[in-house]
Amino acid sequence: MEFRVLLSLCCFSFLLLFPHPSHGGWFNNLKNKRGSLVRLKSENVASSVRFDPTRVTQLSWHPRAFLYKGFLTHEECDHLIKLAKDKLEKSMVADNESGKSVESEVRTSSGMFLSKAQDEIVARIEERIAAWTFLPAENGEAIQILRYELGQKYEPHFDYFHDKVNQQLGGHRIATVLMYLSDVKKGGETVFPNAEGKVLQEKDDTWSDCAKKGYAV
């Protein structure tokens, strides 16, 4: 494996802007779709968008966390990294009172936001995310590209908003999709400190000290 000191990922969050259509029946039908691709039929998502449920692993139910292997192609990863090149700025956090973006030592990465459906590839990724999560693409925030250099971090946090300003503007975030764009020999994990499966995950020297504090991906 090629060693890279930078880990790139992109983040896509859904806001509860309004009640979305009930998809309960679709989830119940997934158990009968093993070994096949599922095509989502919805007015909000192109009918050609498909995802493979056999690639999905449940990591935890409390909180809910799932892993989808091979969600992006190598070409899509390279395309997203290229879009963010030379446009990254210091990552910010939302102030708990004012809701304004402020600098914080809690988060030391760098990042940038794409435009919604910025190009054909980005739009296709957004549609695929909507198909997998069963949430309308229009409820999603713009994709955020993040870069973590050696030693950088984002300390344990919740993705929902604490301030009332952002809640009134867009509502609470109800789901976050993290997509890894590159790999490293050691570290670079996302850790779920309160996940149910943290005691069942075996870890060796390739894992960071941070990853040993919870279930890591």
CATH number of the domain residue 75 falls in: 2.60.120.620
pLDDT given at position 71: 92
Look at residue 43 and tell me if it is in a domain. Answer: no
pLDDT grade for 78, boundaries at 50, 70 and 90: very high
Boundaries of domain holding 124 = 5-14+50-188
Look at residue 37 and tell me if it is in a domain. Answer: no
Look at residue 58 and tell me if it is in a domain. Answer: yes
As for how many domains the chain has, the answer is 1
Look at residue 173 and tell me if it is in a domain. Answer: yes
Look at residue 209 and tell me if it is in a domain. Answer: no
Look at residue 114 and tell me if it is in a domain. Answer: yes
Alpha carbons 111 and 9: distance in angstroms, whole number: 9
pLDDT given at position 205: 64
Look at residue 143 and tell me if it is in a domain. Answer: yes
Q: Give residue-wise pLDDT tens across range 157-172.
A: 787 777 777 777 777 7
